[in-house]
Amino acid sequence: MLRSRMAFVAICLVPLSGCMSGGFDFASDTTVDKAVRTASVPGGRVDGTSDAATVRNAVSSTDLARNAGTPIPWANAVSGSAGVVNSVSELSDDAGRTCRDFTTTLHSYTGVAAYDGRTCVGGDGIWMLTRFDRQE
């Protein structure tokens, strides 16, 4: 009985010995990964084209009657950017197309910026971004 208990303790403690043998040296930086990772931002920069397309999709797909005045969050998996569309208003432009004017924030690794823009639906039913301007 004593041998079986000792065997059980040995089986439980042997795997833990590797964790404990390294000690708790918090001052050592030999185990710290100091690599900078930018995998979510291809080439280390924001992809403004895909950010604009992501915002366009969020604005064009929202139900304005149902979401009136409600902020619309968006995120771009390609660039790692995200933001919130704060306002959307629908109108007809001079060509008679249905358009939506909007304002949004864009949060990226370079900081936070404000944008305003317009997306309009073409004759083929596809929404096109006609303006996406950074506000200073």
Q: Where are the alpha helices (H) located in the chain, listed in sequence order?
A: 2-21, 48-61
Name residue, tokens 């309009």. Answer: 120
3-state secondary structure of 25: coil
pTM score: 0.63
First-to-last CA distance in the chain? 78
What is the pLDDT, as a whole number, of residue 109? 87
Q: What is the mean pLDDT of each run of 10 residues along the chain (136 residues)?
A: 53 50 48 39 52 94 88 93 95 93 93 94 93 91
What is the pLDDT, as a whole number, of residue 6? 52
Beta bridge partners of 82: 75, 107
Q: How many angstroms separate the CA atoms of 8 and 15, rounded?
A: 12
What is the pLDDT, as a whole number, of residue 48? 64
What is the pLDDT, as a whole number, of residue 22? 47
